[in-house]
Amino acid sequence: MEEPHAPSPPPAPKKKTITLAQLRTFAAIADAGSFQVAAKVLFRSQPAISQQLKQLERVLGASLLSRSQGHVAQVTAAGERFLAVVKEALDQLDGAIHAFQRAAGAPQVRLGVPADILPIVLRALGKSSTLGPDLEVTLVTGLSAQLLRGFKHQAFDVILYRSLQSVSQGLEECLLEAETLHWIADRELCIDQLPAVPLVTFPEENLYRVAAIGSLDGTSRPWSIRCTTAEIDNVRAAVRAGLGIGTLPGHLLDQNVVVLNERHGFPPLPPVRLSMAVHGQSHPLAGHVAELLAAQWSVTAE
């Protein structure tokens, strides 16, 4: 006869852990005094950092910040004590990371951007004295769709990319600006006599092309591709030569074209978002480069 088995011991309670991302989020919110500002610094959405803070407070069993109508009123007494420890720990960790990276050679941040904004990016990086000789930034230009694929496959640490306002990329992103697109044509082009809209546009996957064709298809207006080129200067030249109608954002227009709208029979174009995504949690220096770019766009917007 078999002896009865002893009852199994109850499972050990699941240990609650604190993540590095939660600590960085708490420090950023406390320093900024605002969830909105901290979200921009961390390149995360506001709901995401709010959730991280709640998880941290739940693990600690203490309230770290007092809130008033969604804003940070002040750091609590418990929060002040914990914040001092967190900042010291983060400083030591970042210092150790930088020391190891220096020992292994110059650390590298891989940055991907659309070609037309490269001059702005170069101004941001060239003016900064905080990058130092210990950081190497490698730049690649490409279409936003290509940059997004590369970022999702870890080929880039930071990307600037465009997307249509109505399309979500499923990324934690920092919105830099929203661009307004315009239909443009040569002043002497007889628009009323066109049986189909002759498009001067970019290669497939370019957001300006996607926006133009999508808007025309939404009105069932016929169109044809008259010129395809990857160069913005070539688009403007082809439009000025009367070859067809193009789509460009306001900052790329010149005085030699006319802007078309609904009065001319052209549908509104969707706004295009210029955003930034960064693998900052796994690469702290990537976050530093992203901060420089965000600051440059803030200056440009002013």
Output the CA torsion 243→245→248→251 (10° steps): 70
Q: How far apart are the first and last CA of the chain?
A: 86
> 254: which residues sit within 8 A by CB, 6+ positions away?
236
Residue (of 98, 90, 91, 96) closest to 134 by Cα position: 98
Strand partners, 186: 257
DSSP state for residue 204 in the 8-state scheme: T
Strand partners, 110: 138
pLDDT of amino acid 185? 93
Cα distance between residue 280 and residue 283, in whole Å: 5
Please state the φ and ψ torsions of residue 137, each to the nearest 5 degrees.
-105, 120
Residue (of 78, 56, 55) closest to 66 by Cα position: 78
- Note whether 243 and 197 are within 8 A (CB): no
**If 0-12 CB within 10 Å is exposed, 13-18 middle and 19+ buried, where does residue 5 land?**
exposed
Cα distance between residue 64 and residue 78, in whole Å: 6
pTM summary value: 0.63
pLDDT in tens, 55-74: 999 999 988 988 776 567 68
Residues of the chain with pLDDT under 70: 1-15, 41, 43, 69-71, 73, 94-95, 97-106, 127-134, 165-171, 280-283, 299-302
CA distances from 205 to 141, 145, 214, 240 (A): 14, 6, 12, 24
Cβ-based neighbour number of residue 8 at 10 Å:
6
Strands 65-68 and 71-75 come out as antiparallel
Q: What is the CA radius of gyration of the chain?
A: 26
pLDDT of amino acid 223? 93
pLDDT of amino acid 168? 56
- Note whether 163 and 276 are within 8 A (CB): no
Strands 223-228 and 197-201 come out as parallel
**Residue 24: CA atoms inside 13 Å, Cβ hemisphere, count?**
18
- Note whether 157 and 288 are within 8 A (CB): no
pLDDT in tens, 97-153: 666 655 665 578 889 999 888 988 998 887 654 565 567 788 999 888 888 888 888
pLDDT of amino acid 235? 92
